[in-house]
Amino acid sequence: MSRNKVIVTERIAEEGIDLLKQELDVNYCDGISRGELLDIIDQYDALVVRSVTQVDKELVSRGKKLKVVGRAGNGVDNIDVDTCTRLGIIVANTPDSNTISAAEQTISLLLSTARKTAAASKTLKGGIWDRKPFRGVELYGKKVGIVGLGRIGSMVATRLKSFNMEVMSYDPYITNERFERFGVIKTQTLEELMQEVDILTIHTPRNEETMYLIDEKMLDLARDGLIVINCARGGIVKEEALRLALETGKVWGAGLDVFEQEPATENPLFSFSNVVCTPHLGADTYEAQRRVGENISEQVIKALRGELVPNVVNLPTMLSDELKYLQAYIALVEKMGNIYYQLEKSPISKVELTFSGPIAEHETEILSIGFLKGIMEPIMGDKVNYVNARLMAEDRGIAVFDRKEAQSPKRYKNLITAKIQNKECKLDLEGTLSRARLPLLVDYNGYEIESTLEGYVLVVENEDRPGVIGPFASLLGEEGINIASMKVSRKDKGGIAVMIVNVDQKVDERVLNRLLSVDGITSAKIVHFV
């Protein structure tokens, strides 16, 4: 069996390359030209890049076999994520691999700026012993403002608290519980933060919302003598505004690892002795580079195996522990989704999903996506995956609604309810996990029933009266089809009952027609779970 092929276009740690070689055919060509890459990209199942290779629409469109693009680093500025998503290509990065290094670089720049270390070192090495120009300030007792309390921002917060600083933060997308967890004071607005702090440090992604987030207006609000640190992305702090604030003394000093234009070799900010600059070194430690290389290689391998990975950019972000907990529920919702188009042919107009119980405390978006993937697999095959399932649903006019409930309405600890509707019919399903954490259907259109979702399953409606189930089972025996389990449920005595029958063999159209000929059987359909 031929192995998947991956091309690595920029330098990653040897440990990462060695991991890839264990399962994939690797073409490691650091510095490949764009023209050459465009010519050969159609040969590869995976592409690993850093920040230089432009993974744009042209390149992605030529990658006919591409299944995953791995970015060895934190951002994805050089990757057209939207195009990848529409083509079902997974985009993964390594946001956690350089967290420690980036946090430590922030502290390094802050200390160097506060104590004028770099300028003092340069002067002394030039043969001048003079302490007067280099009197610094202490961090002790100062108020520091963190813009963005995510992975790196929270790590910076814990380190700055050890200096006995008062730590404040503005992040409208982070829960109050996270602020409390890290002992950080929350401000409701960025303006409020700017007016309160002595030191400002940036730890937020660069996007349309955050570009020039710290501009002239924000710096004017700040206290005189502000220190500004940016180890996030260039452009979040407007460089022209910072230059003016440095000239007027509004800003006492700055530590910058990132710039609006990179590589930066000529920048007006370089002329200030109270500005410490480094060439985007936030992730550049031996430890971080090893982790980045190994982590992106692990993710590419998992993606090509068809497994879910934690750091997929075009999927909801999950920690490894959360993914491990949800994995069995992901399998459950996929199988619940598989049911509809194997029973019905009418297009779906609306899907309502409810997650009840402790599971509601988790990130359930991945479960919604898994259900949509399951719905469309019977008609779309491998063209639908976790990356493009929601987009495909939208393109087909399926309205998706999700909600959470803290308590399960039934005896099951966790319960997932799905209501699928169209103009002609509806299908209501409820599922949970068995004690062995296997997918279990517990309600079918209001019929309470417990049936495992595996292999071949007959879904049968019958009249609730004697003399129906016996002939039905006998006919299956005649056809050499073994019944693994049978669950029967009714709503009203003498009405229509439902049988969910797990069988060991495929039931073809001819046998289904024979089953329908049994007196009292009103409907018989087969569902197959892979």
Token digits for 206? 């660069």
CATH number at residue 299: 3.40.50.720
Phi then psi for residue 480, to 5 deg, are 75, 25
The percentage of the chain sitting over the pLDDT mark of 90, rounded to a whole number, equals: 81
Please state the rounded mean pLDDT for residues 468-475. 95
Q: What pLDDT, in 10s, does the model give residues 412-460?
A: 999 999 999 987 788 999 999 999 999 999 999 999 999 999 999 999 9
The answer to whether residue 299 sits within a structural domain is yes
Is 321 part of a structural domain of the chain? Answer: no
Strand, helix or coil for residue 161: helix
Assess whether pLDDT exceeds 70 at residue 1.
no
Phi, psi (degrees; rounded to nearest 5) at 87: -90, 5
363 and 499 co-located in one domain = yes
Asked if residue 262 and residue 372 are part of one domain, the reply reads no
Query: Do 426 and 463 have their domain in common?
Result: yes
**What is the Cα–Cα distance from 14 to 375, expressed in whole angstroms?**
41
**Cα gap 106→133, rounded to integer Å:** 24
Residue 310 and residue 427 in one domain: no
Sign of torsion, CA 287 204 87 9?
Answer: negative
In a domain, 283, yes or no: no
Claim to verify: residue 115 and residue 21 sit in the same structural domain: no
Predicted confidence (pLDDT) at residue 341 exceeds the cutoff of 70 = yes
Q: Which has the higher per-residue pLDDT, 316 or 508?
A: 508
The pLDDT-based confidence of 208 (bands split at 50, 70, 90) is confident
Q: What is the pLDDT of residue 317?
A: 64
In this prediction, residue 264 has a pLDDT band, given cuts at 50, 70 and 90, of very high
Is 0.75 surpassed by the pTM of this model? no
Together in a domain, 56 and 180: no
34 and 106 share one domain: no
For the chain, the domain total comes to 3
Q: Specify the pairing of strand 455-463 against strand 496-503.
A: antiparallel
**Looking at the domain assignment, is residue 282 inside a domain?**
no
Confidence at 346, pLDDT banded by 50, 70, 90: confident
Q: What is the pLDDT of residues 76-134, one digit of tens each?
A: 889 999 899 888 899 999 877 888 999 999 999 999 999 999 999 999 999 999 999 99
Q: Is 445 exposed, middle or buried (0-12, 13-18, 19+ CB in 10 A)?
A: middle
Give me the mean pLDDT over the 164-171 stretch: 97
User: Which residues participate in catalysis according to the annotation?
Assistant: 233, 262, 280
Residue 67 has pLDDT above 70, yes or no: yes
**Domain that includes residue 273, residue range:** 99-277
Q: Are 76 and 335 in contact (CB under 8 A)?
A: no
355 half-sphere exposure, CB direction, 13 A CA radius: 21
* Residue 424, pLDDT score: 77
Output the average pLDDT for the chain.
93
pLDDT at 217 over 80: yes
Query: In this structure, are 55 and 174 located in the same domain?
Result: no
In single-letter form, the type of residue at position 117 comes to T
> Do 177 and 305 fall within a single domain?
no
Identify whether 319 is part of a domain. Answer: no
Residue 400 has pLDDT above 70, yes or no: yes
At 186, is the secondary structure helix, strand, or coil?
Answer: strand
Domain assignment present for residue 472? The answer is yes
Residues 243, 132, single domain; the answer is yes
The model's pLDDT over 329-340, given as tens digits with 9 standing for 90+, comes to 999 999 999 999
Residue 486 lies in a domain: yes
11-41 pLDDT per residue, tens = 999 999 999 999 999 999 999 999 999 999 9
CATH number at residue 353: 3.30.1330.90
Q: What is the pLDDT of residue 309?
A: 75
Can you give the pLDDT at residue 96? Answer: 78
SS3 call for 512: helix
Q: Per the domain annotation, does 483 fall within a domain?
A: yes
Q: Are 342 and 525 in contact (CB under 8 A)?
A: yes
Residue 320 reports pLDDT greater than 70: no
Shared domain for 485 and 525, answered yes or no, is yes
Same domain, 174 and 115: yes
